[in-house]
DNA sequence: TGAATATAAATTTTT
DNA sequence: TTTATATTCA
């Protein structure tokens, strides 16, 4: 007898399911995704492999919550970059055909911390107009204190400023004592332990005294705020009925704590992550946060997304093999319903330049085959690895944008301008003062420090008139002090400050840099960015937390509508996808980098990095390496392909040998 | 004697 | 492009 299918409808139909939705969730999502979207009354941990529609699921969940009638402002979406948050909210809004989703509170942990701390900094003994130090600013401070601490050089070698910053940052982000890290990772500096600890104390004191916070302080202080003051925690956390965190595998311990503190009352947290894509441990990220989540939130539901919608099965077979070799991972074999497609291609080029030429030629062929340039990307381990390629691309007239590496705000002349603005906003910003004082003839580190001492000891908020200073100070520096105090008294738009600073800076720049006309363009660009802001404070915060991504190279004449390929570091390619992807420099010694070869954890991270790179591809994946590379550092010649692709069996890829006509 | 400038060396990934 | 060291200047 023929049996008939009869489905029993869910007998308990919640309020949510009875209402009429604008969006057809059942049609648009697969069952796992649907469950993620509809589970809103308990903590949720989503393990989402590469390309499994993680972003889509988040967008639908935001839309769903908004459709349920919740106030969008009571939803908090924490993402890895603010661009990602904006993008998601925009897509949610267009799904709903209403702008209400754009009111959802979204951003990075750092920008969220910034917002919250601006309101409550007083509780921690900070002023609300604190300045955010970027990495190089923090390094400058450490350097200043470092030379002060050790005036005459002792026989022993003391860690360089970058090493110190690294060390301190790791300690803060992993909640590990400095001693332990020195013992484990920098045993050669054990002897200097005392000075290292002392310098850290001075560093913290300095920042507090001058009202400065570095990236780590933002997180640390937010955590402190939430954990030490119960009523304040209730106020802050109470604003959010739902908290969602993207890229949870790349959060560190402090961020994990913040999530816990925000979610502990309402049990309303959802996090999404993939342990196989954790690539930020150098910054203190720990993918084990994912596995500890159920301990923090005992009632949590774990949902796995394993159907891949991005890549062909041919590419997936390959990437599954790449990650299979990982030491510690969670088994989840990804599968796809897309056609088998072409196998990935591995190309051994003779030299770097041959590699570049291959990439260029292949891009042109793909273009011929109808793939738009916007759907092609070239990825690499370190930003300098693309230099040769960039030359060839330019020669072939292929337009490109580069992500990662040098940013507009890293350029020396832009940092100068920013320092002026920072000092106007926060007169206690010693780092900014230091930088702009040194621009003036006759002022070196010593005199700058003297001037700073005068400024800070005599004044709380206002800058004294120049006459009060000792005669030693060069007239140019007095002029500067006069200029800043005048600007500080004005209340104007950011762009007006920028314009007057530019007028002041012009002669200084012309004497400092020979190529000032080139730099002039950057300054104009900078002024036009300033136009978008209403307050100097928000402008400066954004510059530190979410700097404009365009590198100096591609500013200017670029037409936005023009088709262009993307070239990017793998780190900056996180979360993105293209039809065709080239991974260049897959050469053992460069990728994994030499630095990593003697550390198991580092090797594992590099492996995940390779995995992330390869899983960006939808249809075509090319992996190339130059066979003849002389490494100046070690004096060795690298010839082998990356060990991460070498472990993949031959029949999972094609090998192309380059022949010249 | 101390501070400014000229010279030489070196370079992962990012909020 | 930036940073440690050597040299010159007041």
Query: In A 50-89, which Cβ lie closer than 7 Å to strand B?
Result: 80-81
Give distance CA A512 / C1' C5 (Å).
Answer: 22
In the complex, which nucleotide's C1' lies nearest to the CA atom of residue A415?
Answer: C1
Q: What is the pLDDT of residues A234-243, one digit of tens each?
A: 999 999 999 9
Residue A636's SS3 state is: strand
| Whole-number pLDDT of residue A184 | 82
What is the arithmetic mean of pLDDT over A547-568?
A: 63
Specify which of A85-99, A136-150, A279-293, A297-311 reaches the highest per-range mean pLDDT: A297-311
From residue A474, how far is each of A381, A438, A456, A486 by CA, in Å? 47, 11, 18, 19
Nearest CA to the C1' of B4 belongs to which residue?
A444
The rounded distance, in Å, linking the Cα atoms of A356 and A642 is 18
pLDDT classification of A560: cutoffs 50, 70, 90: low
Q: Which tops the pLDDT comparison, A655 or A661?
A: A655
| Whole-number pLDDT of residue A557 | 43
Specify which of A90-94, A363-367, A459-463, A478-482 reaches the highest per-range mean pLDDT: A363-367
With a pLDDT cut of 90, the percent of chain A lying above it is: 37
What is the arithmetic mean of pLDDT over A275-291?
A: 88
Angle at which helices A475-489 and A430-438 cross, to 10°: 140
Query: In A 586-605, which Cβ lie closer than 7 Å to strand B?
Result: 593, 595-596, 602
Give distance CA A516 / C1' B15 (Å).
Answer: 30
Give distance CA A134 / C1' B15 (Å).
Answer: 9
| Whole-number pLDDT of residue A579 | 95
| Whole-number pLDDT of residue A596 | 76
Contact flag, residue A442 CB and nucleic strand B, below 7 A: yes
Contact flag, residue A192 CB and nucleic strand B, below 7 A: no
pLDDT classification of A11: cutoffs 50, 70, 90: very low
pLDDT classification of A19: cutoffs 50, 70, 90: low
Query: In A 459-518, which Cβ lie closer than 7 Å to strand B?
Result: none
Q: What is the mean pLDDT of chain A?
A: 84
Model confidence at A385: pLDDT above 70:
yes
Nearest CA to the C1' of B11 belongs to which residue?
A384
Contact flag, residue A328 CB and nucleic strand B, below 7 A: no
Specify which of A96-105, A248-257, A487-496 reaches the highest per-range mean pLDDT: A248-257
Nucleotides of B under 7 A from a protein CB: 2-5, 11-15
Q: Is the dihedral of CA A604, A610, A613, A616 positive or negative?
A: negative
In the complex, which nucleotide's C1' lies nearest to the CA atom of residue A166?
Answer: B14
Give A505's contacts (C-beta < 8 A, 6+ positions apart): A416, A417, A420
Give distance CA A300 / C1' C5 (Å).
Answer: 59
In this structure, chain A runs to a length of 661
Model confidence at A217: pLDDT above 90:
yes
Write the burial class of residue A387 (CB in 10 Å: 0-12 exposed, 13-18 middle, 19+ buried): exposed
Model confidence at A221: pLDDT above 90:
yes
Reported as type and span, the H/E element at residue A413 is helix A412-425
Specify which of A12-16, A170-174, A549-553, A625-629 reaches the highest per-range mean pLDDT: A170-174
Give distance CA A474 / C1' B2 (Å).
Answer: 17
What is the arithmetic mean of pLDDT over A321-325?
A: 89
The pair phi, psi for residue A219, each rounded to 5°, is -70, -45
Give distance CA A218 / C1' C6 (Å).
Answer: 41
Q: Is A92:A59 a contact under the CB 8 Å cutoff?
A: yes
The rounded distance, in Å, linking the Cα atoms of A318 and A11 is 45
Nearest CA to the C1' of C2 belongs to which residue?
A412
Nucleotides of C under 7 A from a protein CB: 1-5
| Whole-number pLDDT of residue A362 | 95
Give distance CA A410 / C1' C5 (Å).
Answer: 25
Model confidence at A187: pLDDT above 60:
yes
Reported as type and span, the H/E element at residue A583 is strand A578-583
Model confidence at A151: pLDDT above 60:
no
Residue A140's SS3 state is: helix
The rounded distance, in Å, linking the Cα atoms of A350 and A626 is 5
Closest CA to A144 of A417, A445, A483: A445
pTM reported for the whole predicted model: 0.88
The rounded distance, in Å, linking the Cα atoms of A286 and A278 is 8
Closest CA to A609 of A281, A358, A389, A272: A281
pLDDT classification of A550: cutoffs 50, 70, 90: low
Closest CA to A104 of A69, A60, A63, A73: A73
In the complex, which nucleotide's C1' lies nearest to the CA atom of residue A411?
Answer: C1
Query: In A 193-252, which Cβ lie closer than 7 Å to strand B?
Result: 215
In the complex, which nucleotide's C1' lies nearest to the CA atom of residue A136?
Answer: C2
**Out of A96-110, A156-170, A395-409, A506-520, which region has the weakest mean confidence (pLDDT)?**
A506-520
Q: What is the pLDDT of residues A39-88, one digit of tens each?
A: 998 999 999 999 999 999 999 999 999 988 888 999 999 998 877 888 88
| Whole-number pLDDT of residue A470 | 44
Contact flag, residue A556 CB and nucleic strand B, below 7 A: no
| Whole-number pLDDT of residue A562 | 78
pLDDT classification of A631: cutoffs 50, 70, 90: low
Give distance CA A384 / C1' B11 (Å).
Answer: 9
Give distance CA A489 / C1' C9 (Å).
Answer: 39
Nearest CA to the C1' of B12 belongs to which residue?
A382
**Neighbouring-strand partners of residue A105:** A76
Taking all atoms of strand C, which protein residues have CB closer than 7 Å?
A 136, 139, 143, 153, 160-161, 410-412, 415
Contact flag, residue A186 CB and nucleic strand B, below 7 A: no
Give distance CA A49 / C1' B14 (Å).
Answer: 23
**Out of A31-40, A300-309, A583-592, which region has the weakest mean confidence (pLDDT)?**
A583-592
Give A463's contacts (C-beta < 8 A, 6+ positions apart): A427, A455, A481, A484, A485, A488
The rounded distance, in Å, linking the Cα atoms of A327 and A276 is 11
Q: What is the pLDDT of residues A390-421, one digit of tens each?
A: 889 988 999 988 887 667 777 888 888 888 99
Model confidence at A635: pLDDT above 70:
no
Give distance CA A438 / C1' C7 (Å).
Answer: 20
Model confidence at A5: pLDDT above 80:
no
Model confidence at A251: pLDDT above 80:
yes
Closest CA to A44 of A365, A323, A267, A283: A267
Give distance CA A199 / C1' B4 (Å).
Answer: 27
Q: Which tops the pLDDT comparison, A452 or A633?
A: A452
């Amino acid at each position: 007898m023929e049996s008939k299918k009869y489905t029993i409808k869910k007998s308990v139909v919640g309020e949510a399911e009875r209402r009429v939705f604008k969006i057809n969730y059942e049609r648009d999502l697969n069952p796992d995704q649907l469950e993620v979207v509809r589970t809103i009354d308990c903590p949720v941990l989503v393990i989402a492999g590469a390309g499994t529609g993680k972003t889509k699921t988040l967008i639908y969940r935001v839309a769903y919550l908004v459709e349920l009638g919740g106030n969008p402002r009571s939803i908090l979406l924490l993402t890895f970059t603010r661009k990602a948050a904006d993008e998601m909210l925009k897509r949610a809004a267009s799904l709903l055909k209403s702008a209400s989703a754009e009111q959802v509170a979204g951003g990075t942990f750092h920008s969220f911390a910034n917002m919250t701390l601006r309101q409550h900094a007083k509780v921690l003994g900070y002023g609300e107009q604190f300045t955010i130090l970027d990495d190089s600013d923090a390094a400058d401070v450490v350097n200043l204190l470092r030379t002060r601490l050790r005036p005459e050089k002792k026989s022993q070698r003391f860690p360089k400023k970058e090493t110190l910053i690294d060390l301190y940052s790791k300690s803060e982000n992993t909640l590990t004592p400095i001693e332990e890290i020195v013992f484990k990772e920098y045993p050669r500096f054990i002897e200097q332990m005392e000075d290292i600890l002392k310098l850290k104390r001075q560093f913290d004191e300095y920042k507090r005294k001058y009202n400065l916070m570095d990236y780590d302080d933002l997180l640390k202080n937010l955590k402190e705020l939430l954990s030490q003051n119960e009523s304040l925690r209730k106020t802050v956390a109470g604003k959010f009925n739902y908290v969602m965190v993207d890229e949870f595998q790349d959060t560190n311990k402090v961020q994990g704590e913040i999530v816990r503190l925000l979610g502990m009352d309402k049990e309303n947290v959802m996090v999404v992550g993939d342990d196989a894509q954790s690539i930020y441990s150098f910054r203190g990220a720990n993918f084990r946060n994912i596995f500890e989540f159920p301990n923090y939130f005992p009632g949590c539901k774990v949902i796995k997304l394993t159907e891949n919608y991005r890549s062909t099965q041919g590419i997936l077979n390959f990437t599954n093999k790449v990650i299979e070799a990982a030491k510690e991972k969670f088994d989840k074999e990804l599968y796809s319903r897309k056609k088998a497609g072409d196998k990935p291609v591995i190309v051994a080029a003779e030299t770097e330049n041959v590699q570049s030429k291959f990439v260029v030629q292949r891009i042109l062929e793909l273009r011929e085959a109808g793939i738009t340039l916007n759907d092609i990307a070239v990825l690499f381990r370190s930003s300098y690895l693309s230099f040769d390629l960039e030359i060839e691309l330019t020669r072939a007239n292929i337009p490109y944008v580069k992500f990662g590496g040098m940013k507009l705000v890293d350029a020396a002349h832009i940092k100068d301008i920013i320092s002026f603005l920072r000092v106007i906003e926060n007169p206690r910003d010693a780092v900014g003062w230091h930088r702009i004082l040194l621009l003036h003839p006759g002022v070196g580190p010593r005199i700058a420090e003297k001037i700073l001492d005068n400024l800070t000891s005599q004044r709380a908020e206002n800058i004294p008139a120049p006459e009060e200073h000792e005669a030693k100070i060069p007239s140019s520096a007095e002029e500067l002090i006069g200029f800043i105090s005048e600007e500080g008294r004005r209340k104007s738009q950011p762009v007006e400050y920028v314009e007057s600073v530019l007028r002041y800076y012009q002669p200084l720049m012309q004497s400092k840099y020979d190529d000032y006309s080139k730099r002039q363009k950057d300054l104009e660009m900078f002024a036009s960015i300033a136009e978008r802001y209403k307050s100097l404070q928000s402008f400066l915060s954004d510059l530190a937390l979410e700097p404009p991504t365009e590198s100096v190279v591609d500013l200017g004449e670029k037409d936005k509508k023009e088709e262009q390929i993307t070239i990017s570091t793998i780190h900056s390619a996180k979360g993105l996808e293209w039809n065709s992807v080239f991974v260049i420099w897959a050469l053992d010694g460069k990728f994994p980098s030499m630095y990593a070869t003697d550390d198991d954890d580092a090797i594992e991270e590099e492996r995940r990095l390779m995995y992330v790179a390869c899983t960006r591809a939808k249809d075509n994946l090319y992996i190339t390496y130059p066979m003849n590379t002389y490494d100046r550092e070690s004096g060795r010649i690298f010839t082998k392909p990356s060990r991460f692709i070498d472990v993949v069996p031959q029949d999972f890829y094609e090998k192309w040998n380059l022949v010249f006509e």
